[in-house]
């Protein structure tokens, strides 16, 4: 038991690091678990806070010490960070230095021209708001969530550099950048003195775009990578073989990235074949 534990109802498993593997992130000194927990879905204000807490506790007990957030995770926007902040305050605070917590900004977040994109104004304001929602003093990694063609890449990378230098984050990263823009961003950050730690792209058996140049760039530059949606948001499991369950992600009315229309019979047939060989 930890001394002065504010929440004796939760004590992390003593064997939490015995069965999890950790791999070095690029050429950095940082190691990440082979599995991380992203709070994109199931942690918003419309979801069960108890269930969210249980998932976070269980993940940490299994050695998953990397938790990934973004300003617009929910729904509604911001609520996943608030949920995480509540668990952090209630039970995770004694373990903060064992955790790697990341967040992002780039997609639509609030009304007006300053609530979206890659501008310095948006990224820094969003980072500050995310820190307040989570109750953290800093993020371990802060990402530019997506490339913004309307903002000079230099401005976006300068904002990430400032976020790191100001103590708001320890490392800088990007998400869903093309190979060309990734390489440009790496060079800009190198010149600024804040190396790019990591790239977070989507990747699964139905979405293999990173094999067309991005993985080569990351290997050449020594930048780490951590993918999201490796199971295609659950489609690469048995869940959708007989239709769309009522309580599934694809059935949620607010879901726009993975809907019933995304589930074609051709894809289902491929998952069935995958099941036969797994």
The answer to whether residues 199 and 227 touch, using CB atoms and an 8 Å cutoff, is: no
pLDDT in tens, 34-44: 999 999 989 99
CA 263 to chain centre: 24
pLDDT in the model for residue 253: 56
CATH H-level superfamily of 22-230 = NADP-dependent oxidoreductase domain (3.20.20.100)
Higher pLDDT, 151 or 277: 151
Share of the chain above pLDDT 70, in %: 92
Which of 102-106, 229-233, 263-267 has the highest average model confidence (pLDDT)?
A: 102-106
pLDDT band at 254 (very low <50, low <70, confident <90, very high): low
Residues 6+ positions from 81 with CB-CB distance below 8 Å: 39, 69, 71, 73, 103, 130, 133, 134
pLDDT in the model for residue 234: 81
Residues 6+ positions from 50 with CB-CB distance below 8 Å: none
pLDDT band at 1 (very low <50, low <70, confident <90, very high): very low
Q: What is the DSSP letter of 68?
A: E
Question: For residue 171, is pLDDT > 90?
Answer: yes
pLDDT in the model for residue 278: 63
pLDDT in tens, 238-251: 887 777 777 766 65
pLDDT in the model for residue 5: 46
143 beta partners = 104, 173
Peptide bond into 76 cis (omega under 30): yes
Q: Which two tokens stand for residue 274?
A: 């995958």
pLDDT in tens, 107-147: 999 999 999 999 999 999 999 999 999 999 999 999 999 99
- For 243, phi then psi, to 5°, come to 105, -170
Question: For residue 209, is pLDDT > 90?
Answer: yes
pLDDT in the model for residue 238: 83
Q: What is the DSSP letter of 207?
A: B
173 beta partners = 143, 198
pLDDT band at 277 (very low <50, low <70, confident <90, very high): confident
pLDDT in tens, 2-29: 444 455 589 999 999 999 999 999 999 9
Instruction: Tell me the CA end-to-end span of the chain in Å, nearest whole number.
Output: 41
| Domain extent listing, the chain | 22-230, 240-278
175 beta partners = 200
pLDDT in the model for residue 275: 77
pLDDT in tens, 40-65: 989 999 999 999 999 999 999 999 99
pLDDT in tens, 83-107: 999 999 999 999 999 999 999 999 9
Tell me if residue 278 falls in helix, strand or coil: coil
């Amino acid at each position: 038991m930890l001394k002065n534990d504010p929440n004796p109802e939760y004590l992390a498993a003593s064997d939490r690091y015995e069965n999890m593997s950790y791999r070095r992130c690029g050429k950095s000194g940082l190691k990440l678990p082979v599995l991380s927990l992203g709070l994109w879905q199931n942690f918003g204000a419309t979801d069960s806070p108890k269930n969210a807490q249980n998932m976070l506790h269980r993940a940490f007990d299994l050695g998953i010490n990397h938790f990934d957030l973004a300003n617009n995770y929910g729904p509604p926007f911001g609520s996943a960070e608030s949920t995480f902040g509540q668990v952090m305050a209630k039970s995770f605070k004694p373990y903060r230095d064992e955790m790697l917590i990341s967040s992002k900004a780039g997609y639509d977040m609030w009304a007006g021209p300053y609530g979206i994109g890659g501008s310095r104004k948006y990224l820094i304001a969003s980072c500050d708001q995310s820190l307040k929602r989570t109750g953290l003093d800093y993020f371990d990694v802060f990402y530019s969530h997506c490339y913004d063609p309307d903002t000079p890449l230099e401005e976006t990378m300068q904002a990430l550099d400032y976020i790191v230098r100001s103590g708001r984050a320890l490392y800088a990263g990007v998400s869903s950048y093309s190979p060309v823009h990734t390489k440009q961003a790496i060079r800009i950050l190198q010149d600024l003195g804040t190396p790019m730690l990591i790239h977070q792209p989507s990747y699964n058996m139905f979405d293999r775009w990173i094999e067309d140049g991005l993985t080569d760039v990351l290997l050449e530059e020594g930048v780490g990578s951590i993918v999201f949606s490796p199971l295609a948001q659950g489609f690469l499991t048995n869940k959708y073989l007989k239709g769309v369950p009522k309580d599934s992600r694809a059935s949620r009315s607010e879901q726009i990235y993975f809907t019933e229309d995304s589930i074609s019979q051709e894809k289902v047939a491929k998952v069935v074949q995958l099941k036969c060989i797994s």
